[in-house]
Structures are given as C-alpha cells and as structure tokens.
C-alpha cells in the first residue's frame, strides 16, 4: 500500500470545502478524550455526548479535546458548530493526505503535521496525520487512530503544577508538536544505528543482502525526508506568525521547536549522504572483487596457452614427428610443460600480477 499522497477517483470534482473523509479508516469507533485543567485541579470527565463538549466553552480553564478517528462526518459537523469552525478547516482535518501547513482562522490557529512511527518488525515507517486547532483557551487535536504518543504530556499535566498548566492552549500545542518533532529525531536515530552497522560488513563480506538493506534504508529515509521538509516549512511559518492566539512569552518555545526540526533535517541529510557513500563503496568493493577473480582466471588462461600449443603440436596426425619415437618422449614433454608453468608462475609473482 502506497504511503505517498494519492487522490481517489471519486474525490475528483468534489468541493475542497466538502466535509468528506478522504483517508482510510484506522480506528472505530471514534475516541473522544477531554482534559480540563488549571493550576489547582485537573479534570478528565467521560464524554457521553457532544453536550459534554459544549461545557468546555463555559469554563475559563485550559481545555484539551482529543479526537481519535476522522471519518465521522456528523461528529465533525457538531464540533464545527460548537466551536464556530468553518467547513474548509474541518475539510482539511478530514483529509489525512494534506500537506503540513499552518493558517490563522477567525477564532484560532489551524495546524496540520505528519506523525511518524518506526515499526521495528517491518523496518518500515508508518505515517499518521495530526491536526490541531488552537483557540484562546482550548486545544482540539485530531488523530487518525488511537495511540499513546501524547501520554507523556498528559502525565505532565496530571503530576506537575508547572508551566504547562498556566501557559495557555498555544503552549500545549507546542508540547504536542515537540513530541512529534522529537519522534522524528528518534526515528532517524533508529535508522542511523542500522545504517552505521552496515559499514562493519561493507568491506569484509559485501553480500547481496547488504545491498538490499541499503535500498530499504534509503527508501525509508527518503520517505522520512518527504514528511520532514514540509513540516520544517510549517514550523518556520508558525514561529513567524503574528497572532493574538500566540502569547509573547511562548514565542521562544516555537523558536526551540524550529531548532529541533532543523536538527532532524540535518541528521536525515547526513544519513542520506552516508547511504549513498555506502552504495558507492559496495559497488567499488564488488568491482574490485570481480577484478581479482578475472585476474586469477586470466593468469590460468595465459599459463595454458603454451601448454595447449605443445599438446596441439604432438597431437597432429603426421607420421614423421622426430620426438614421437623417443623412448622417454612422454616424460620429457611433461617435464617441459611443468618447467614452463613454474617459470610463468614465478614471472607473474615477480610482476605482482597476483
């Protein structure tokens, strides 16, 4: 199954603002989670209906609504109505193949970025789209499937009365984006360890499996870079954005986020160059190995040229060959052939041809 951006035939001609799910169902049923908190208390009420979501707007505390699953059109329409969101925003949320971007909307900031995970068993990177809507006191996050990647942020909110409880929804958005970018760096590190381990076998035992591994890692690294590059552009635009929904005291954190994704980009570029170097080394080693084989075969071929000549002469069908009547002619012929072979081997060795 392709992991690249694809458009389905039935989507051609649809309005870009139509609330239509344009991805693959990755979870069912839809999961809803709420965290509402201030300096003194953290509340995680169970959501039974959308009326529980409406209560978020009635509090002055910071609220985080997380939605796992994007295919429920009715739910998206209700959320759009509750938070006064335009259809074009929810349409982008329901399109997992959308390119990472950030834009200011009437009542907040809309952010979308790719979340990546490395599956060790398959040696393959999976991708999931994450969308965030940041308002003055509420953060809404949309994920394609249920996962615990943001559980460390929830634990920080539960256990610590620190900055994350008092710095607004924009800081909470930063915390989630920071996990996404840190995961980029972690995945690159996982791939990097495997790429560097290839060098140990590069010159000692360059088997075909080594070439297969190089191609696998090159494919995954290219896929990784395809998602990191637009994410870097999005984070740069987010850092430069002048909006009332970003507090001045939090701007430094978005600058740090940009530094982190620069690190991810630099690492991916470095390992990409290493892979290409390894590919060149592999082909060089294999070419050298082939040359060694051809040199040995050539030496044997050259040795057999005079021997074949001698055998050919004495294998001719003429009656008057002087040596044919010699009593020890057979042994003399073998002696001459052995002397020629030894002399040629000594000569080749002296010339360092093998």
Any idea where the domains of the chain sit in the sequence?
Answer: 9-285, 294-350
Regions of the chain where pLDDT drops below 50: 1
The helix/strand/coil state of 164 is helix
3-state helix, strand, coil in the chain (%, to 5): 55, 15, 30
Give the per-residue pLDDT at 182: 93
Contact 226, 196 (CB under 8 A): no
Q: What CA–CA distance (Å, rounded) separates 57 from 42?
A: 16
- In angstroms, the Cα distances linking 24 to 8, 69, 225, 260, 305 are 11, 10, 23, 30, 69
- Tokens 């990177």 -> residue: 125
Give the per-residue pLDDT at 287: 84
The length of the chain in residues reads 354
CATH topology of domain 294-350: Methane Monooxygenase Hydroxylase; Chain G, domain 1 (1.20.58)
The helix/strand/coil state of 113 is strand
Q: What CA–CA distance (Å, rounded) separates 65 from 63?
A: 6
38's tokens = 């201030």
φ, ψ of residue 59 to 5 degrees: the values are -110, 155
Give the per-residue pLDDT at 32: 87
Nearest one of 20, 128, 140 to 79, comparing CA atoms: 140
φ, ψ of residue 71 to 5 degrees: the values are -90, -5
Give the per-residue pLDDT at 8: 62
Farthest-apart Cα atoms in the chain, separation: 122
pTM over 0.85: no
Q: What CA–CA distance (Å, rounded) separates 41 from 161?
A: 9
Give the per-residue pLDDT at 29: 78
Q: Is 9-285 a domain of CATH 3.90.960.10?
A: no
């Amino acid at each position: 199954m392709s992991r690249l951006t694809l458009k389905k035939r039935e989507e051609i001609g649809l309005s870009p603002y139509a609330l239509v799910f344009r991805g693959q169902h990755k979870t069912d049923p839809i999961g809803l989670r709420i965290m509402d908190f201030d300096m003194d208390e953290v509340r995680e009420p169970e959501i039974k209906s959308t009326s529980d979501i409406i209560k978020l707007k009635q509090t002055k505390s910071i609220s985080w609504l997380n939605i796992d699953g994007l295919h429920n059109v009715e739910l998206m329409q209700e959320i759009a109505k509750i938070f006064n969101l335009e259809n074009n925003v929810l349409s982008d949320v329901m399109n997992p193949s959308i390119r990472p971007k950030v834009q200011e909307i009437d009542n907040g900031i809309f952010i979308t970025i790719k979340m990546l995970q490395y599956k060790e068993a398959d040696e393959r990177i999976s991708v999931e789209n994450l969308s965030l809507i940041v308002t003055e006191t509420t953060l809404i996050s949309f994920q394609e499937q249920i996962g615990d990647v943001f559980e460390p942020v929830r634990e920080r909110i539960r256990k610590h009365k620190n900055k994350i409880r008092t710095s607004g929804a924009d800081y909470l958005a930063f915390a989630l984006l920071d996990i996404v970018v840190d995961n980029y760096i972690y995945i690159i590190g996982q791939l990097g360890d495997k790429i560097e381990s290839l060098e140990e076998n590069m010159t000692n035992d360059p088997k075909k499996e080594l070439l297969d591994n190089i191609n696998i890692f090159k494919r995954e690294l290219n896929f990784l870079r395809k998602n990191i590059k637009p994410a870097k552009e999005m984070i740069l635009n987010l850092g430069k954005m002048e909006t009332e929904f970003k507090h001045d005291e939090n701007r430094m954190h978005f600058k740090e986020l940009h530094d982190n994704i620069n690190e991810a980009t630099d690492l991916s570029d470095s390992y990409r160059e290493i892979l290409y170097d390894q590919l060149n080394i592999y082909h060089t080693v294999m070419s050298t190995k082939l040359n060694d084989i051809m040199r040995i075969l050539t030496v044997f071929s050259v040795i057999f040229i005079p021997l074949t000549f001698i055998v050919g002469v004495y294998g001719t069908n003429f009656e008057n060959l002087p040596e044919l009547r010699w009593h020890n002619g057979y042994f003399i012929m073998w002696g001459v052939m052995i002397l020629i072979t030894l002399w040629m081997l000594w000569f080749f060795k002296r010339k360092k041809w093998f």
